Structure formats: structure tokens, C-alpha cells
RNA sequence: UCCCCAGUAGCUCAGUUGGCAGAGCAGAUGGCUGUUAACCAUCAGGUCCGCGGUUCGAGUCCGUGCUGGGGAGCCA
């Protein structure tokens, strides 16, 4: 007989005979003549309360059931006379699939996130982490649905790459060379003998590849892992993270801003509708203001202001910042947080950044000082989206590469896309984990990704 | 990479001016009970992160290393 998921059973509107559930024991409470066993199968936050009567042949073993044990229970779904739940499963049979020894590190009580990170292979068995990863799954689906509904095509951009996308971030090198005896030529590593015949690394962004496809299929997006070998030790950085990058042909900076706002509102609304129970856990135990923040995002129009205007607000704010405010300087975390959390108290889009603090592919504005770039800032997180209109004029692009000392040869295919049928286009990148942090109120990025990769930490 | 904080039982933590190592939960045993972070009693459980130093005496003070966390930079 096939198991029924607990999620499904708890939504039942009538008693059901002859069902089977399979899951893990969260806790057992013995009563006179029977035992209450809370079973969770991961389909939802809630447990199924199983009633195991002492008449069961293996009742003696059942009263030894420990937290974490795997069981299969057959029985009848009945209305519960107790208070905490509508339904319970009266067991006809309870098979102990595996009995967990008392060294099982998870208890019914709350654990610290720091401790759970040290047992990342077991933490999805807790309420909080199962909720995080169910939401992560729903959110992934919502991303695909959003784009599909709008005619975007999903592009699988490569993970292995020879080009350093933006000069952004340190790269993880990929090689099959024998590291104990690396072939040298003129004192340097001879990558012509490597697997691809060229220096290779893990991608830091799918954007450049996505642009090629936008200039063919129109509206496209990528959604996949990216890798940065930066020695960042913060609650907002991991070395392997997932990024969503839409790219739209015949689209300018305003279109990108419009899409980013619509996108964030859609995803927030989707999770609020589809993950009610899981979200409630975060609103109750992680961030008391969570629902207010999420509703705020959905209902408010994002404030849009230029970098110049943002600078004026900051310098007139009367606030003392650790970092100086001034044109040509990038916005620091404290500036972003002041704008979105204190001044506007809602999401803010800042656009037209000075060109000298932005990468080569962003389109230079007519003032020749700024580029058509935009960042979306949200409360609690800061920058969640960064995007731009791309430079479609081949002469301007080549001049920019030269000026920044980047090799036109390395980017030959990228430049060539501007030679043949070039068209204005724009796009942005959204940090998937940062969005999850925003939606759950979880404050450490290590806790919204299954197995976080951070400097000197890759045990799992 | 820089600044700050922390490390005590399986887990969450307390530990006073330097003076016998503590509680709750988890575990074991027994009891009670349609319970729901069940409850009650008893028992068991320790390299006080490692190394070095000061002291009659160090969990406590000093130095150093390791690990974790918070903040910053870099960025998504």
C-alpha cells in the first residue's frame, strides 16, 4: 500500500480508513493503555498524532520509540477528541523501520542555529529548517512560473567558463592539471595543456551568456548556481549561491526596474499564499514584524530615485555615517539601510550610478558620467537586485573595455553580438538566498541554503 | 582581510572578589495521566576548547593557538 502524505491527510474533511503514513518520530508521550506518537514526514510543518494502543503486538517496542526513529503506521484517520489537532491516526499496525539511538543530537527543544550548522545533514529534520527548505522549493517554482507566464525562455548558462564575467569577484579555478607538478611556460602555468586548453573557472554570473540568448529569443532568464571565491565572512555571503538573471531584448532601464518590482511583488505574494503554515513559524519565532514587512513590499510602490538624489538625501540627513557620503563613492551598507529602513521605510530603487564604480557592460548615459544601472534595496537585507541597461553600441563598448584594461580578445564573442543586429536590452540579477532571507526573516544566509559553502567550511 | 564577542554535561545555559562543578531539557529506571515543548521521583552524565603562564589554589586572571558568532570591507 502506498503511503499517504501527512499534508494530504490533515486537509481531509472526513475520516478515512486504511491509510499508511511513513515518517520520523518527533516525540512520544505514553498514556494509560496507549501512546501518543508525533510523526512528521516532511510534507508539512504539522505532525500527525498517532494513537498506538497497548493491544498492538509490538507495543513494548513502541514504548521505546525515540525521537528521530523512522516508522510506518497503518490505521484509520479519525477526529481527535483532544484539543491541539483536528485529526489523529489510530494505528492498526506500527512498523519500526529504524530505531534511533540516544546519541541522536536533535531534541524537541529549540537548538541554536550555530549548533544546527554543525549538523547540517540533520537540520532539515527540524521544524524551522524543514520550513525554510519547503519555502525555498516553492519559491523556485514561483520563479519559473513568473517567467513562463510572461513568455520568458529558461536558458541553462554554463557553469564552467573561460571568461571572468565582470571582473567581479575572485574566481574558483577549475583544472585537471596535476597540482603537484604543474606544467610551466615562461614561468607561468601552461593552461594550453589543461583540459580545455585554457584557464577555466566556475561561473560568477550567467549574464553575458544570457545576453546572447536575449538577442535571439527575446526575453530569457537563467536560474542557477554561481561561485565567488571571495574571503567574505558575513551573514550575507556564501561562496556558492543561486542567482536569477532575466535579460530582455528591446528593453531599457525603466523596463528592468518595472520588471524587478513586479517580480519581487509576485514572489512575495506567491509565498504568502502558498506557504501559510511555514511562513507563520517565521512570523511567530524568527521575526515578529515579518508579515508587516512582506505586506509592505506588496502594497507599496517602490521609491525610485537617482544616485545623485540619494546622495543629497544622505548628506542632508544629519546622520553621522562611518563612511563619507559623496558623488563617485559607492553606497555603503549603512547608507542603503538608512534609505530603505529609516527614510523611505519601503523598497527603494536607486539608478544612474557613476560609471567608474560600475562594470564595463553597463550602458553609458548621455552625461558621460553615469551608467544606466539600478539597485533594488529592501529593508533588513539591503541590496537584493542589481541590474542595468547593457551597452549595445559597439564602439562605446570597445572603448570601455580598453579603458578598463580588459581584453577585447577574451570578450570577442560578446563584442561581436554588438556587431550583428545589436539591440538595446536590459536585465538584472537577484540573489536567491537573499530573497529567501527577506521572505523568512532569517538573518544568516547560511541558514537558507542546504549546505552552505563559506571560507574554510565545506564539511557537508 | 580588519574590528569586537564567545567557547562549562548530548543540547540550552548559570557559575559572585580566584576557594568542593550547577540547573533545565535529552538519556536510563519507576510512577501518573487523552497527552500535545506532558507531568512527578530517582539515577547516570564533565579533558570547564587546546597549549603555556601567574598563584598556596584558576572555569574565573594573563599570553597564545583553534573554533564559532556579530559588525565592516568585497558583493548578490
A155: domain CATH number?
A: 3.30.930.10
Q: How far apart are CA A83 and CA A86, in angstroms?
A: 8
**Any idea which nucleotide's C1' is nearest the CA of A323?**
B72
Residues A61 and A165 in one domain: no
- Asked if A256 and A136 sit in the same domain, the reply is yes
- Does some domain include residue A20? yes
Q: Which range of residues forms the domain containing residue A160?
A: 124-169+204-447
State whether A47 and A146 are in the same domain: no
- Overall number of domains in chain A: 2
Q: Is the CB of A243 under 7 A from strand B?
A: yes
The answer to whether the beta carbon of residue A49 comes closer than 7 angstroms to any atom of strand B is: yes
Per-residue flag: A53 CB under 7 A of strand B: no
- Whether residues A143 and A234 fall in one domain: yes
Q: Of all nucleotides in the shown strands, which has a C1' nearest the CA of A47? A: B36
A83 touches strand B (CB under 7 A): yes
CATH number at residue A87: 2.40.50.140
- CA–CA dist A311, A309 (Å, integer): 5
Residues A57 and A131 in one domain: no
What's the grid cell of residue A337? 539601510
Helix extents (H) in A324-389: 333-337
Domain-located, residue A117: no
Same domain, A378 and A319: yes
| A314 falls within a domain | yes
Are A200 and A160 in contact, with CB atoms under 8 Å apart?
Answer: yes
pLDDT tens-place values along chain A, 460 residues long: 789 999 999 999 999 999 999 999 998 888 888 999 999 999 999 999 999 999 998 888 888 888 889 999 999 999 999 888 999 999 999 999 988 887 888 887 788 888 899 888 999 999 999 999 999 999 999 999 999 999 999 999 999 998 654 455 588 889 999 988 999 999 888 999 999 998 889 999 999 999 999 999 999 999 999 999 888 888 999 999 999 999 999 999 999 999 999 999 999 999 999 999 999 999 988 888 899 999 999 999 999 999 999 998 988 887 777 777 777 788 888 888 889 988 998 999 999 999 988 899 999 999 999 999 999 999 888 899 999 999 999 999 999 999 888 888 888 999 999 999 999 999 999 999 999 999 999 999 999 999 999 888 888 8
On whether both A42 and A137 belong to a single domain, the answer is: no
Q: How far is it, in rounded angstroms, from Cα A246 to Cα A430?
A: 9
Same domain, residue pair A70 and A156: no
Q: Is residue A103 part of a domain?
A: no
Q: Is the CB of A168 under 7 A from strand B?
A: yes
| A158 shares its domain with A89 | no
Same domain? For A67 and A130 the reply is no
Q: How far apart are CA A343 and CA A78, in angstroms?
A: 54
List the A370-378 sheet strands across, edge first.
A153-154, A219-227, A240-249, A425-431, A382-389, A370-378, A348-354, A303-306
Same domain? A89 vs A145: no
Distance separating alpha carbons of residues A337 and A236, to the nearest angstrom: 14
Among A48, A82, A98, the domain boundary falls at A98
Please indicate, yes or no, if residue A118 is contained in any of the structural domains: no
Query: Quick check: is A191 in a domain?
Result: no
Nucleotides of chain B touched by protein CB (<7 A)? 1-2, 10-13, 24-28, 31-38, 67-76
Confidence (pLDDT) at A288? 87
Residue A272 sits in the same domain as residue A382: yes
CA distances, A324 to each of A311, A314, A319, A320, A330 (Å) = 10, 10, 11, 9, 10
User: Does A38 reside within a domain?
Assistant: yes
Which residues of chain A (86-125) touch nucleic strand B at CB < 7 A?
88, 102, 105, 107-112, 114-115, 117
Instruction: Confirm whether A111 is domain-assigned.
Output: no
Residue A13 CB neighbours (<10 A)? 5
Amino acid at each position: 500500500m502506498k503511503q499517504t502524505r501527512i499534508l494530504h491527510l490533515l486537509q481531509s474533511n472526513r475520516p478515512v480508513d486504511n491509510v499508511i503514513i511513513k515518517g520520523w518520530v518527533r516525540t512520544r508521550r505514553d498514556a494509560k493503555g496507549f501512546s501518543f506518537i508525533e510523526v512528521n514526514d516532511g510534507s508539512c510543518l504539522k505532525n500527525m498524532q498517532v494513537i498506538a494502543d497497548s493491544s498492538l503486538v509490538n507495543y513494548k517496542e513502541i514504548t521505546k520509540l525515540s525521537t528521530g526513529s523512522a516508522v510506518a503506521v497503518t490505521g484509520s484517520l479519525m477526529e481527535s477528541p483532544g484539543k491541539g489537532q483536528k485529526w489523529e491516526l489510530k494505528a492498526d499496525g506500527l512498523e519500526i523501520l529504524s530505531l534511533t539511538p540516544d546519541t541522536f543530537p536533535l531534541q524537541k527543544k529549540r537548538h541554536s542555529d550555530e549548533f544546527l550548522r554543525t549538523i547540517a545533514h540533520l537540520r532539515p529534520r527540524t521544524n524551522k529548517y524543514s520550513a525554510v527548505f519547503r519555502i525555498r522549493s516553492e519559491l523556485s517554482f514561483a520563479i519559473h512560473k513568473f517567467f513562463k507566464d510572461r513568455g520568458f525562455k529558461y536558458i541553462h548558462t554554463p557553469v564552467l567558463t573561460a571568461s571572468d564575467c565582470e571582473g567581479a569577484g575572485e574566481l574558483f579555478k577549475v583544472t585537471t592539471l596535476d597540482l603537484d607538478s604543474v606544467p610551466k611556460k615562461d614561468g607561468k602555468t601552461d593552461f594550453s595543456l589543461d583540459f580545455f586548453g585554457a584557464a577555466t573557472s566556475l561561473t560568477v554570473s550567467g549574464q553575458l551568456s544570457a545576453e546572447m540568448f536575449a538577442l535571439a529569443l527575446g526575453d530569457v532568464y537563467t536560474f542557477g548556481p554561481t561561485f565567488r571565491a571571495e574571503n567574505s565572512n558575513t551573514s550575507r555571503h556564501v561562496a556558492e549561491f543561486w542567482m536569477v538573471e532575466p535579460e530582455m531584448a528591446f528593453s531599457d532601464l525603466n523596463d528592468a526596474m518595472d520588471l524587478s518590482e513586479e517580480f519581487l511583488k509576485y514572489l512575495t505574494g506567491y509565498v504568502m499564499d502558498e506557504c501559510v503554515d511555514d511562513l507563520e513559524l517565521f512570523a511567530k519565532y524568527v521575526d515578529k514584524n515579518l508579515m508587516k514587512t512582506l505586506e509592505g513590499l506588496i502594497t507599496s510602490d517602490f521609491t525610485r530615485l537617482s544616485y545623485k538624489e540619494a546622495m543629497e538625501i544622505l548628506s542632508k540627513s544629519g546622520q553621522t555615517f562611518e563612511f563619507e557620503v559623496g558623488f563617485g563613492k559607492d553606497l555603503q551598507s549603512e547608507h542603503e539601510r538608512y534609505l530603505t529602513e529609516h527614510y523611505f521605510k519601503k523598497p527603494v530603487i536607486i539608478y544612474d550610478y557613476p560609471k567608474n564604480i560600475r562594470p564595463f557592460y553597463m550602458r553609458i548615459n548621455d552625461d558621460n558620467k553615469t551608467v544606466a544601472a539600478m539597485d533594488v534595496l529592501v529593508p533588513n537585507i539591503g541590496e537584493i537586485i542589481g541590474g542595468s541597461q547593457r551597452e549595445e553600441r559597439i564602439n562605446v563598448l570597445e572603448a570601455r573595455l580598453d579603458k578598463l584594461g580588459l581584453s577585447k580578445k577574451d570578450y570577442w564573442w560578446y563584442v561581436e553580438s554588438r556587431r550583428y543586429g545589436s539591440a538595446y536590452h536590459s536585465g538584472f540579477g537577484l540573489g536567491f538566498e537573499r530573497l529567501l532571507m527577506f521572505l523568512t526573516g532569517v538573518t544568516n544566509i547560511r541558514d537558507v541554503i542546504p549546505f552552505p559553502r563559506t571560507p574554510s567550511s565545506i564539511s557537508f
